[in-house]
Amino acid sequence: MADNTQKDPKDWVSGDDPMTGAQESYLKTLAEQAHQDLAEQELTKAEASELIDKMRQKAGLEE
């Protein structure tokens, strides 16, 4: 059976909205843990979600 509990961020209705404050804060924390510089960017919610996933992998937090 296919897992449909997670939707691709590109398919989110609000994916083009600006990232939330929570996403921005979490990205900063992940960047510190991954020893990466996080340039100030204006990301959408979908872009922020995808970057969070990548940063989690770099920080060794991937489930």
Residue written as token pair 């990205």: 27
Give residue-wise pLDDT tens across range 49-60.
Answer: 999 988 888 777
Q: Do the beta carbons of residue 17 and residue 43 sit within 8 Å?
A: no
Helix segments in the chain, DSSP class H: 21-33, 45-58
Task: Please state, in angstroms and rounded to a whole number, the distance separating the CA atoms of residues 43 and 31.
Answer: 15
Per cent of the chain over pLDDT 70 is: 89
Identify the band that residue 1 occupies on the pLDDT scale cut at 50, 70 and 90.
Answer: very low
Task: Please state, in angstroms and rounded to a whole number, the distance separating the CA atoms of residues 58 and 11.
Answer: 25
**What pLDDT score does 59 carry?**
74
Predicted structure pTM score: 0.73
Identify the band that residue 15 occupies on the pLDDT scale cut at 50, 70 and 90.
Answer: confident
Task: Please state, in angstroms and rounded to a whole number, the distance separating the CA atoms of residues 46 and 9.
Answer: 5
